[in-house]
Amino acid sequence: MVDPDRQLVFQARGVTKVYDMGEVQVHALRGVDLELYAGELVVMLGPSGSGKSTLLNILGGLDTATDGFVGYLDSDLTRASQRELTEFRRHHVGFVFQFYNLIPSLTARENVAIVTEIARDPMTPEDALALVELGDRLDHFPSQLSGGQQQRVAIARAIAKNPQVLLCDEPTGALDSETGVIVLEALDRVNRELGTTTAVITHNVTIGGMADRVIKMGDGKVTDVLVNQTKKQPHEMHW
């Protein structure tokens, strides 16, 4: 349900990204136009190599566009310096990656704490882990957790600083269907309870069912945007 009065969080206009590989140039993005609104949950679908990760990285300030405009609230990310991008990530964005990317030498609690310690108005690591139902595994190291549990720690780490946006790149890619559902429930809950704008990249068309909107990408462009009239609950989905 897109309410045009809702606040615009991200706005992308004609975003291109070219990787210069010396002899060849890879056009990862060829002019992307996109809006993300406050509090919505979007799912991005598309074939491998279509530029999803590239786009998400640019939105999250991990990477910069070759050309075009990317705006976040009132600021222009395309003009931001590295320092400003760092500040942007520090205070506004939470990331979830396909391979969790936890720090192996830190426990679940410490993996979350390493982010809350530099954030402005974080929740406690314990609260964040409770939100993903891992309140009882606080002092376990990543190697002592299952893949799904690790991914939930990664989500807790991403939301613990109360970010405005949560960017997830194939959060269930490495997980089985049941564990995937648990992870998606955690994301859905965060989106509902905290109102965090959430973007989820996936290859799994079924997951599109839980989104407010589904954005389809192909060959470096947005090819289609679907609005879900009725959102599904994660536990209603199977693949």
Partner 1 sequence: MRSIYRKLFRDLWYMRGMALAIALVVTCGVATYVMSRSTLDALTTTLDEFYSEYRFAEVFATLKRAPESVARRVSALEGVDVLATRVVAGASLDIEGYQEPVQAQIISVPDEGPPVLNGLYFVEGRSVDAYRDDEVVVSDAFAEAHGFRPGDELGAVLNGRRKQLRIVGIVRTPEYLYQLAPGSFIPDFERFGILWMGRTPLATAFDMQGAFNDLSLILAPGASREEVIEAVDLILRPYGGFGAIGREDQQSHFYITEEFRQLDQMATIFPVIFLGVAAFLLNVVVTRLVQTQREQIAVLKAFGYSNIQIGVHYLLLVSGIMLLGVLGGLALGIRFGFGLAELYMQFYRFPYIHYQLNPGVVGNALAVSMLAAYIGTMAAVRRAALLPPAEAMRPEPPPRYRQSIVERLGLSRWLAQPTRMIIRHLDRHPVKAFFAVIGIACASALLLMGQFFDGAMNYMMEIQFSMAQRDDLSVTFFEPTSRKALYGLESIPGVEYGEVFRAAPVRLHNGNRTYRTAIQGVEPRGDLFRLLNTDLDVVEPPPDGILIPPHLGKLLGVAPGDTLHVEVLEGSRPTRSVPVADFMEQYIGLGAYMRIDALNKLLREGPAISGVFLETDEAVITDVYDVLKEIPRVAGVSSRLQSIEDFYDNMGETMLVFAFFYTLFAAAIAFAIIYNSARIALSERARELASLRILGFRQSEVAYILLGELALLTLIAIPVGFMIGWALCIYMVSSLQTELIRFPFVMSAGSYAFSAVIVMGSALLTGLIIRRRLYRLDLVSVLKTRE
Ligand X SMILES: Nc1ncnc2c1ncn2[C@@H]1O[C@H](COP(=O)(O)OP(=O)(O)OP(=O)(O)O)[C@@H](O)[C@H]1O
* Residues in touch with ligand X (CB under 6 A): 19, 21, 26, 28, 46, 48-54
Closer by beta carbon to partner 1, 169 or else 213: 169
What is the spatial order of strands in the sheet that 41-45 belongs to?
A: 93-96, 165-169, 197-201, 41-45, 213-218, 221-227
53, 151, 197, 202: residue in contact with Mg ion (rule CB under 5 A): 53
Only one of the segments 42-50, 88-96, 207-215, 228-236 lies at the binding site for partner 1 (rule: CB under 8 A); that segment is: 88-96
Q: How far apart are CA 43 and CA 64, in angstroms?
A: 22
Provide the minimum distance between the beta carbon of 232 and Mg ion in the complex, in angstroms, as a whole number.
24
Provide the minimum distance between the beta carbon of 205 and ligand X in the complex, in angstroms, as a whole number.
13
Q: How far apart are CA 214 and CA 227, in angstroms?
A: 6
Closer by beta carbon to partner 1, 83 or else 238: 83
Q: How far apart are CA 77 and CA 64, in angstroms?
A: 8
Let me know: does 169 contact 97? Beta carbons within 8 Å: yes
Provide the minimum distance between the beta carbon of 114 and partner 1 in the complex, in angstroms, as a whole number.
4
CB atoms within 10 A of CB 76: 12
- 3-state secondary structure (DSSP) of residue 196: coil
Let me know: does 7 contact 37? Beta carbons within 8 Å: yes
Phi, psi of 56 (to 5 degrees): -60, -40
Query: How many residues line the site for partner 1 (CB under 8 A)?
Result: 35
Determine, following the binding rule CB under 8 A, whether residue 114 of this chain makes contact with partner 1: yes
Name the binder of 49 from Mg ion, partner 1, ligand X, none, CB < 5-8 A by kind. Answer: ligand X
CB atoms within 10 A of CB 47: 12
Provide the minimum distance between the beta carbon of 228 and partner 1 in the complex, in angstroms, as a whole number.
29
Interface residues with partner 1 (CB under 8 A) are 57, 60, 62-63, 82-83, 86-87, 89-91, 93-95, 97, 99, 101-106, 110-111, 113-115, 117-119, 143, 147, 157, 161, 174
Chain contacts with Mg ion (rule: CB under 5 A) = 53
